[in-house]
Amino acid sequence: MFPYLVSRVTWTLILLLVMSGVVYLLIGLVPGDAMDLFVDPTLSEADRARFRQALGLDQPVHIQYGKWLGQVLRGNLGFSFYTGQPVIQRIGERFGATFTLALSALIVTLIFAIPLGVAAASRPHGLCDRLAGFVGLLGLSTPSFFLALLLIYLFALRLGGLPIGGLERIGGGGGLVDRLRHLVLPTVVLSLYMLGPMMRQLRAAMIEALQQDYIRTAMAKGLAPFWVLYKHALRTALIPVITLVGLELPYLLGGALVVEQVFNWPGLGKLTLEAVFQRDYPVIMAMVLVSGLTVQIGAILTDLGYLVADPRIRRS
């Protein structure tokens, strides 16, 4: 266990180092920087030079990178070109909203994926299977921003009742119910996207599990089919689902960009987009690294999940 973690973390650090270098180099190669955005173009050349110096933009790229890296290792991801706040603080402010949405989408996905996947596997090519297949196909093929707009149109504008976006109602003070109501539509969009792959994996794994000898034994003992399905078969079949949750984690934590944008959800995805539009490179850099980090964390959590779910791996 321990050697595994060490090699895993080392590889993660190498990846992040290489990637940060590449991104930094690219930024250095491109003309135009924060100066063009913030500094009053009517300023004198001497004043401009002073600004460049203050922002550290006058130095060669590798020096800037070295300085930046040194700061990162001390937990300082730099300062946003746009707001002047520490990047880490901007990320911290937004993390909560993204985490809430991600968790809610994950829970809803699992609530629907598990019974649907099990039902589909218990009778392959039956009605449930076809329905699950169709829902999965639809979820994977629908552009999330279109679905988001459609849901806003139907449930917020036409039927009313649900808010068009945001974390809570303007001014706040709506309490938990108000926040939950704001969570509904973005959760639906994210869950529908994840539902398909999740059901598919579970179905395939369940079908394989149901062919095993211990299932036949359980059935022969006269156990109720419900318990055989949900206790004996599902436990093995959950392993690929764990993998998928690990793989989807980066999507949820950073890739749900468009959903956050359309629903005006103040999370990390929206922060990334704002940074891209504002050419706020310290924030963009940090978000690339954070997203890379979530991929690695997802992978590590997946492996740990295996340990919990599968005693065979635990022993070896």
Partner 1 sequence: MTPDAQPLRRAFRRPSVIASSIFLLSLVLVSLLAPVIAPYDPNEIGIDFQAPPSKKHWLGTDLVGRDVFSRLLYGSRISLMVGFLSVGLYCLIGALIGVIAAAFPRTWDRILSRLADLVLAFPPLVLILATVSLVGPGIGQVIWLLGLLGWPSVFRVVRGNLLALRESTMVEAARALGASGWHIAKRHLMPSATGAIFVAFTFGVGQAILTEAVLSFLGLGVQPPTASWGNMLTDAQSIAVLEQMPWLWLAPGVMILATVISVHIIGDALREALDPRSSA
Residues that bind partner 1 (CB under 8 A): 15, 18-19, 23, 26-27, 30, 124, 137-138, 140-146, 149-150, 152-153, 157, 164, 203-204, 207-208, 250-251, 254-255, 257-258, 261-262, 272-273, 275-276, 279, 281, 284-285, 287-288, 291-292, 295-296
Pick 148 or 167: Cβ nearer partner 1: 148
Least spacing, CB of residue 24 vs partner 1, in Å: 11
Least spacing, CB of residue 239 vs partner 1, in Å: 16
For 250, counting Cβ atoms within 10 Å of its Cβ (0-12 exposed, 13-18 middle, 19+ buried), the class is buried
- At 304 the three-state DSSP class reads helix
Pick 218 or 254: Cβ nearer partner 1: 254
Angle at 68 between CA 66 and CA 70, to 5 degrees: 70
Give the span between the Cα atoms of 266 and 166, in whole angstroms: 7
CB atoms within 10 A of CB 60: 9
DSSP designation for 38: H
CA distances from 41 to 27, 44, 48, 132 (A): 22, 8, 9, 58
Q: Give CA 205 to chain center in angstroms.
A: 24
Pick 31 or 41: Cβ nearer partner 1: 31
Which of 161, 175, 145, 170 minimizes the C-alpha distance to 259? 145
Which of 289, 290, 260, 274 minimizes the C-alpha distance to 81? 274
Least spacing, CB of residue 23 vs partner 1, in Å: 6
Pick 80 or 144: Cβ nearer partner 1: 144
Least spacing, CB of residue 82 vs partner 1, in Å: 12
Pick 158 or 315: Cβ nearer partner 1: 158
Mind giving me the DSSP string for 129-171?
HHHHHHHHHHHHHS-HHHHHHHHIIIIIIIS-SS-SSSSSSTT
Give the span between the Cα atoms of 234 and 243, in whole angstroms: 15
Pick 223 or 264: Cβ nearer partner 1: 264
Least spacing, CB of residue 314 vs partner 1, in Å: 26
Least spacing, CB of residue 31 vs partner 1, in Å: 10
Pick 154 or 308: Cβ nearer partner 1: 154
Pick 255 or 267: Cβ nearer partner 1: 255
Least spacing, CB of residue 221 vs partner 1, in Å: 25
Specify the amino acid at residue 207: I
Least spacing, CB of residue 263 vs partner 1, in Å: 11
